[in-house]
Structure formats: structure tokens, C-alpha cells
Structure 1
Amino acid sequence: MNITAGLAEFAVQTDAAAIPSDVLDRALALVTDLAGSAIRAATDSESSPAILAMLDRLGMAGAGPCTVFGLTQHYGAATAALLNGAFGHSLDFDDTHADSSLHPSAPVVPAALAAAELTGASGPEFLAAVVIGFEVCCRIGMALDPTAHYARGFHPTATAGTFGAAAAAGRLLGLDAAGMASAFGVAASQASGSLQFLENGAWNKRYQVGEASMKGLMAATLASEGFVGASNALEGAHGFLKGYSDESVADRVVSGLGQDWETLRIAVKPYPACRYTHAAVDGLLRLRRQEDLTADDITRVRVGLHRNGIALVGAPIETKRKARSIVEGQFSMPYAAAVALLRGQFGWDDYDLLGDPGAEALAGRVEVWNDPSLEGLRHPFGATLEVEAKGRTHRLHIPDPSGEPETFPDAAAIAGKFNALTAPLPHNRDWLSALNGLRDAGSVRQCLA
């Protein structure tokens, strides 16, 4: 089977009525979750002013028909996709898909939203496009083999995410199967995203995800105007899968397509940090409650992680123990552990502990090691804990962090996270009610107006 053609046919030919209701409901929950992060980041992320100033200076900040979460002005479609993608990913509080080790909503939802507002699409049409985008980027991410993709220094949310954005936008722009394959051909040339941001806590990660959303939208729009993209974009001799991974398995893109919905395997984050820290934070919070521990009681914390987790949040350990910027904190297992033990929680406002002497002292007692029992598993986000406190050693194994499909938050919890993020900000509209109305809205643009 031609992998690219098969995926393109799925993206455009899947009837919205054939998408199960629970899959569409999950998509709406994930859209809402992303919007909460974006609204807060539009005002509160340290990188947002620079992005907005760049767009203004380059003449890209003009008014248009498309919504940007957290801002009153409407923008052109490409700019809106860029901003919503960057804002949505800035807090590192957006959703995750374990098998592909990427964040699906940040590249997909903004491209779908911009295309929906550009074309006058309905809420159901928008949500169906979001689901298609999720399926495309998650399956491509799985086919890359996340460990091999990371080993090459790539950021899968930005790379595979470009294809998901193209699929969601292309569906709403009315592409046929040949046009969608062409959009994928363009996306293959646009997909980019480096892990080098880890070296100095740079802002690249959030911006490159916004770019993935914008580039996917642009690829789909080019195809809608008759632009011819490369054929066999995924499996070709110089295609995306071979160029971006040493261990890719192309058949994973289409295995179970339209029957096994990866959208239902997307998880929501309870903490605003890299997903590889979450299982350990869950365990530390549990121990803190059960054993009535304080920071002064802790003499040593050992955290066992998958090798991907070591690369992202555990090495080099001395640097991770002294996180000073928000990005460094988002990718520091020692910082996350210190916050959990000091505060008994880990929310966005807990980054005020960066540089705190007490937090750094506790982080200095955190060790991270590669636990072989976590290798070769379908889900790589588990953790093993050893905590020495009050003369005792407590051991825990946490197979999966909270928020995964088996513990997916209900509607009240989704709303609670949204409200916790947006409550400190001045409100110009009732975003949550508007988002809840998307399921049946005749017009996305009017629903969010």
C-alpha cells in the first residue's frame, strides 16, 4: 500500500458521521485544554511579547478573520495558527500521546481553527478535522519510532505535527485525496524542530510548534491552489520517515486506520512540565501525603526513567539541579521533584521557586537513572522512585502518569484546569462557554466571536 496516498484518502474520505461520538467528545476536551494554556501564555509567557513584536515588525500582525486565544484582536489565518500553536505549547501544559511521544493539540488545533474560521466551517466539521489531524500526526510519530527520532535530535511535536496540521486544515479547505497527498509532500519539506533548545533553556520549542501549525496550514492552502507537492512524501527514498529516523516502520502509519482511534489515547497533563517528570511527581505527591513528609525529612530521591526521559529531564544532572529559567525548569526532573515535595502540588505559578535556595538544595538531593524495566514498553512515561526520609527508604513504581486514557479527567476536571489557568487574567469573554458550544455550533467563527 502507498502509505502517503492511503493516509491522504483517510484524511479526506472519512465521513464525520463515521467518527465515534466519544472520539469527537475527546477532541472537544482536548481543544478546551489547549485553549486554557494558550490564553494564559498569551499574557504570561516570557516569549510571547517577542513573537508578537516580530509579527508586527514584519507586517504580519494585521487584522483578519481568525481567533487567537487570549487576545482581543483577530488575525490572518497563518498568523493566528502560529500564535495559537506557540501560545498553546509555551507552558508545556498541553496534551501528550505516549506512543508517539508528542503533543498533538498544539500543532493541529490552531491550524484547524484558522481553516475553520477562514472557510466558515461548523463546529462539527472543525472537530472532525481536529480528529483527523490527531490521527495523522500521532500515527506518523509512532512510525518514526520516538526513541530513534529523539536520538537524531528532532522534536516530534514540531516535525510530525506539521503533517497533522496539514491534514486538519486540508480537510476543511476541501482537498481531495490527490490534493491532500500533495499537501503532505509540501509538509515533508517544511517539517522541522530541534532539541537543541535543551542546552540553554531557549524558547525554540514553543515557537517551532507554532511554526508547525502555520506551515501545515500553508501546505494545505498551497495544495488547494493547485501547487504540486512531492509524491510518496512519507515512505519515499528521500521521504520524511527515512530522513528523520533510523528505525522508522512505515506500516505503523496505516495499521488500524479508521478503526483504532489514537485520539482516545491522548492524555491531559496535570503538571506544566515535560511528561517524563509526571509519573515521578505523582509518586512523590502520594508519598508526601501518606508519610506526612516535609522537605527537611528528605535525604535522597532516586528517580528511574526511560532513556528518552533521561535525555530530556535528567542529563546533565548538575545542570538540571540548577534550573533558573522556565524552560530549564520544564525540563528538570530535580526541579519538578523539589516543587512537589515543597509545595504538595505543581502548577504554573510554582515556577516562582526557580532560583530559590531551598528548592535548589532539595533538587541537589535528586538523582536520575536509566531504569531498564521501563525500556521496550509501549508507554515510556513511567517512573521508579526511591525516597530516603526519616531513616526509611520508600519505593514506588508508577507505570503511567495520571491523565492517561485510563485516568482521563472528566469534564469538571477539564474545566477546573482551564479556570485555574485563566482565573488570574482579565476576562473579555466567556471562553469556556464558547468552547463548550463548538460541538453543535453552526459556525465556529460566530461561536467564538
Structure 2
Amino acid sequence: MKAAPQISPVMQALSAYIARALRRPLPPAVLEKTKHHLLDTFAAMLSGSRLPPGKKAISFAKTSGGTKEASVVGSRIVTAAANAALANGMLGHADETDDSHSPSQTHPGCGVVAAAFAMAEREGASGTALLRAVALGYDVCCRLTQSLNAVQFRAAGHSTHSFGPTFGAAAAAGALAGLDEGGARHLLSYAAQQASGVSCWMRDPEHIEKAFDFGGMPARNGVAAAAMVAHGFTGVEDVFSGERNFFVAYGHSPDPEELARDLGERYEIMNADIKRWAVGSPIQAPLDSLLELIRAHRIRPGEVERLIVRVAHLGANTTDNRTMPDICMQHLCAVMLADGSVSFKSSHDPKRMREPRILELRGLIELRGDDALTAAMPRREGIVEIRLKDGREFRHHTRAVRGTPENPMTREEVEAKSHDLMAPVTGVARSRKLCETVWKLEDTKDVRTLRPLLRA
């Protein structure tokens, strides 16, 4: 008689957590924060549908066919759930508007929300089920790369932004597909087999592969894993322990217990960031600091003699004189000086990168990687130092970026940002209606009723 497979305590706890997620109410604060991230990600998808990665994703979805199970945001396409997840994941990270989670070095929303929404549509799930699945996805996504020592894992060349969201997307989709504990164990094995990613995405000049790596690939793979197991596919009972397990393959100094640590008590969505500015994460703190200096000292652009920006070395490397406006530190600081703010439109307008006034200001800006700010990682701190032509000098150090857990955005701020992103695509009325619907999503019996609000 064949012996029963050995299942580790970590896998027992994690698979039970996934299987029971939709029956477990979220604490009020977690429920509210989950709505913030859901709306923020829908907004990123809608605005992303008009950017090159989003346009490519939508045109690709048109060629894919498939059973009509789930919708592609920003279009009228209804396709197979895995196809919709791929497209919507790419829309969610078509630029740098979407959320992030610094300790895990991931952007959870673009992968997790895309997968959860696609499977929720396929299953005709309620708004409550969608919210619980999204919160679950963040828990699994972030713990996965944290269990691998996220900063070290990324430094070794792996893409944390692909690994974590693959597991988070699978967990969210698997819960919505109704998998039991045994199914959840097989689900995680299929996620592990599909987990991949090399961090050379930073060299992608058009952000199209990066949109796939961060959002489209994890969302598609997570939905595929859930759909296959729901169909009856079986697999390895515990991919996280035993011979040739996941951590043997990928862990240099792993902490497998992190996968199940404080489940149901520490909700990782509470530790995720929503970006105040629709630009890359390393640029958030410098823009916060620069705005504070402009307002506090009433600085006008013509008064500036020199501006020094300090961030962690990794952030400086990622944003130094990039050709895409929304991830170029020097350009966006010049826009902030010129305009007194940075909007979605101003941060995504390539014409402004050739504007003489902006180029003149950009020439005054120096970006430096900083050892102390590198040591502060995963906190993305930033320092701005300004010298004016009259000799005055000012300095501001942002330690807690607006939108981080230490300095969270309010519901009103999240709605204002989302409306700015969505209204140009959907129109003002539908944008407002979508906000109202998300805030009361528990009243939604079938999430497919959101489709008209997400079309364009």
C-alpha cells in the first residue's frame, strides 16, 4: 500500500487558508483598504488601455478567441478568463500608475486583481467574494517573495515582480474557483511550475514586456493553474517541502515559514502602497519632497540654480535619464518645478520631454544614488536639496511617502486619483459611478454587472 504523502505544517496552513478565504469576513479596516486597491487597479487598467502596452494587449486579446467568460477592461471584448487576465494584467501595469508592496518587491494589484476579476466573472461571483479573493491574493503574493528574502532574490537577477504575483493570482483565482484544501495544494504546485522571471525587464524601452512580466504573465498563469485544477488536474501535494522542492530550487537563505506566518492576523494589503503620483515608485518620495519645498518656500522655477535628488542606488539606476517620461526622475522633477504638480497627463506626455523650458530645468537637476537611503530599503525614501540663485538652500527628506502604510491616502484621495485616470476613458459619469460601485461592492451580487462601467 502506497504511503500517504508527507505534507508540511506550512502547506497545511496555507492550503487551508486559501480554501476557506471566501468564507472568512475581512476586518473593517482591511475591507476598506482592499476597496482602495481594487479601485486604484481598475483605474490603472482603464488609463493603461490607452497606452502602448494596453493597446497591444487589447489587440492581442481580439485574436485569441475563446469561451466568453471574462471581459477585457477598456474594450468590449469578452473572452476566456485566462485571456482576459493576461490582457487586464498588462493594462494594470501599462505604466507606473499601479500599486506596490516594498517589503516583497512586488506590484501585487496588476497580477492579483486581474486574475481575481477574471475568475470572479467566470464564476459569477459576488462583490464580497471578489474583495476577499483580492485580499487573499495579496497575502500569498507578498509572503512568497518575502519567504525568499525579496531584496536578495531580486539582486540575484530573479524578478520578484513575476514570482510573487504568480502565486497571489493563483490563490485568488483558486479560491474563486471553489478549490478545497487538496485542490489548493495542487494549485500551488502548478503556480510553482509556472513561476519565472528575469529582472532584465528594466531594459525594456517600451514597457510592453514589463507589463507582461509584472501583470499579464502572473495573472494568466494564476488563472490557468486554478482552471486546470478545478477541471480535475492533480499534482504534487507539497511543492514547498520534500525532495527537490521550490525552496531548494530558488532559495539561498529562505524562510518557508513566512508563507503561513500570521495568516488571518497580518493582512499584507495593509502594507501595500498606493501611488500618489502616476509615476515610478522610486520617484514618489522626491516628488513629495519637491512639492513640500515649493509650497513651503514659494519657489518659482526661475529661482532655481541647482537641484540634487538622492534616492537608493537601485532607484537611481532605474530612473536615471530614462526615455519614458513616467519613469524619468530628472524629467518629472523638472515638470514639478514648472507646473507645481504632476498629473497623469503631464507625466505621460512625451512632447514635454522636448519642451525647451523643461529641458532647461532638467539641466539643473542631478540624481545621486545614496548609501544611507539604500540601507533604508525596502522603504523608498528620498531627499531633495535645492540651491536658489539668491544663495538660499533648502533640503527635505521624505521618509514616509504619501500612500504608504505609514502615511496612507484617504478614500477621497484615492477616488480623486482614480477619477483623474478613468474619466478621460470612460467619461465623467461612468467614472463616478464606478467609484460609487466599488465603495459599496458588498451590494453587488454578480461582478459581471461591472462590465458596462469598465468598457470604452
- How does the TM-score come out when normalised to structure 2? 0.88
Residues of 2 paired with 1:441 and 1:263: CA distance?
22
The equivalences for 1:296-445 within 5 A come to 296-313=302-319, 320-321=320-321, 323-324=322-323, 326=324, 329-350=325-346, 351-352=348-349, 353-377=352-376, 379-390=378-389, 391-427=391-427, 429=430, 430-445=433-448
Q: In 2, Cα distance between the equivalents of 1:9 and 1:277? A: 39
C-alpha displacement at 1:213, in angstroms? 0.4
Shift of 1:448: 4.1
1:207 aligned to which of 177, 187, 212: 212
Per the alignment, residue 106 of structure 1 pairs with 110
Question: Alpha-carbon deviations, 1:70-121, whole Å to 9, x = none?
Answer: 2233222111111211111113111111211211111111111111111121
Q: Offset of 1:9 from its aligned partner?
A: 1.8
2:295 corresponds to which of 289, 293, 302: 289
For 2:379, give the aligned amino acid.
P
Identity among equivalent positions (%) equals 27
Unaligned 5+ segments in structure 2 are 1-7
CA change 1:62–1:305 in 2 (3 A) is: same
Q: How many residues align?
A: 436
Q: Is the 8 A contact 1:438 1:447 kept in 2?
A: no
The offset of 1:333, in angstroms, is 2.0
SS at the partner of 1:424?
Answer: helix
Residue 200 of structure 1: CA displacement? 4.5
Amino acid at match of 2:31: L
Q: Which amino acid aligns with 1:159?
A: F
The structure-2 alpha-carbon separation of the partners of 1:289 and 1:144, relative to structure 1 and needing over 3 Å to count, comes to: same
Change beyond 3 A, Cα 1:235–1:385: farther
Tell me by how many angstroms 1:279 deviates: 0.7
Q: Residue 97 of structure 1 aligns to a residue in which SS?
A: coil
Aligned to 2:160: 156
The residue that corresponds to 2:239 in the other structure is: 233
- Deviation sequence 1:223-275 (CA, Å, 0-9, x none): 22232334443456654445445343322222222111111111210112221
Does 2:46 match 1:47? Answer: no
Q: 1:107·1:157 contact (CA, 8 Å) conserved in 2?
A: no
2:73 and 2:65 map into 1 onto residues whose CA distance is 15
1:2 Cα shift?
Answer: 4.1
Give matches, 1:126-141, under 5 Å: 126-141=130-145
Q: How far apart, CA to CA, are the structure 1 residues paired with 2:308 and 2:394?
A: 10
Segment of structure 1 superposing worse, 19-28 or 431-440: 431-440
Further displaced range: 357-366 or 108-117: 357-366
Match of 1:121 in 2: 125
Cα 1:200/1:75, change in 2 over 3 Å: closer
Q: Distance in 1 between the 2:107 and 2:200 partners? A: 18
Q: Secondary structure at the match of 2:299?
A: coil
The whole-number CA distance in structure 1 between the counterparts of 2:405 and 2:83 is: 32
Q: Per the alignment, in what secondary structure is the counterpart of residue 206 of structure 1?
A: helix
Instruction: Say whether the 8 Å CA contact 1:3–1:232 is kept in structure 2.
Output: no
Tell me the alpha carbon deviations over residues 28-81 of structure 1, each in whole angstroms, 9 at most, x when there is no partner.
121111111111221x20222322333334xx1457132332223322211111
Do the aligned residues in 1 keep the contact of 2:58 with 2:75 (CA within 8 Å)?
A: no
Determine if the alignment matches structure 1 residue 36 to structure 2 residue 43.
yes
Give the secondary-structure state (helix, strand or coil) at the position aligned to 1:144.
coil
**Please, which runs of 5 or more residues in structure 1 have no aligned partner?**
314-319
SS at match of 1:267: coil
1:289 is paired with a residue whose SS is helix
Matched, 1:279 2:285: yes
Cα RMSD, aligned residues only? 2.3
Matching residue's letter, 1:365 = L
| 8 Å CA contact 1:161, 1:212 repeated in 2 | yes
Give runs of aligned pairs for residues 159-238 of structure 1, distance below 5 A.
Answer: 159-202=163-206, 203-208=208-213, 209-234=215-240, 238=244
Q: Does 1:260 align with 2:266?
A: yes
After superposition, the Cα gap between the structure-2 partners of 1:201 and 1:130, relative to the gap in structure 1 and judged at 3 Å, is: same
3-state SS in 1 of match to 2:69: strand
Distance in 2 (alpha carbons) for counterparts of 1:345 and 1:237: 55
Residue 99 of structure 2 corresponds to 95
Structure-2 separation of matches of 1:63 and 1:178: 27
- Cα deviations by residue, 1:116-166 (Å, 9 ceiling, x for unpaired): 111121111111111111100011122222321221233322221000000
SS at match of 2:97: coil
TM-score (norm 1): 0.90
Q: 1:78 to 1:360 in 2, by over 3 A?
A: same
Query: Within 2, Cα distance between the matches of 1:343 and 1:242?
Result: 52
Q: Which moved more, 1:206-215 or 1:368-377?
A: 368-377
Matched to 2:211, the amino acid is: R
Task: Give deviations 1:277-336, integer Å, cap 9, x for gaps.
Answer: 1111100111112222233333332222223323422xxxxxx32x33x3xx33322222
What is the one-letter code of the residue matched to 2:42? A
Tell me if the contact between 1:285 and 1:340 (Cα under 8 Å) persists in the aligned partners.
yes
Q: Distance in 1 between matches of 2:446 and 2:182?
A: 27
Deviation at 1:435, TM superposition (A): 2.8
Q: Using the alignment, how far apart are the partners of 2:383 and 2:216 within structure 1?
A: 34
In 2, the alpha carbon distance for the partners of 1:371 and 1:16 equals 47
Q: What is the CA distance between 1:15 and its match in structure 2?
A: 5.8
Q: CA deviation at 1:172?
A: 0.8
Q: Report what 2:3 is aligned to.
A: none
CA distance in 2, matches of 1:288, 1:148: 37
Q: Tell me the distance in 2 between the aligned counterparts of 1:282 and 1:97.
A: 18
Q: Quick one: distance in 1 between partners of 2:328 and 2:297? A: 25
Work out whether 1:81 is the aligned partner of 2:77. Answer: no
Distance of aligned partners of 1:4 and 1:205 in 2 relative to their CA distance in 1, 3 Å threshold? farther
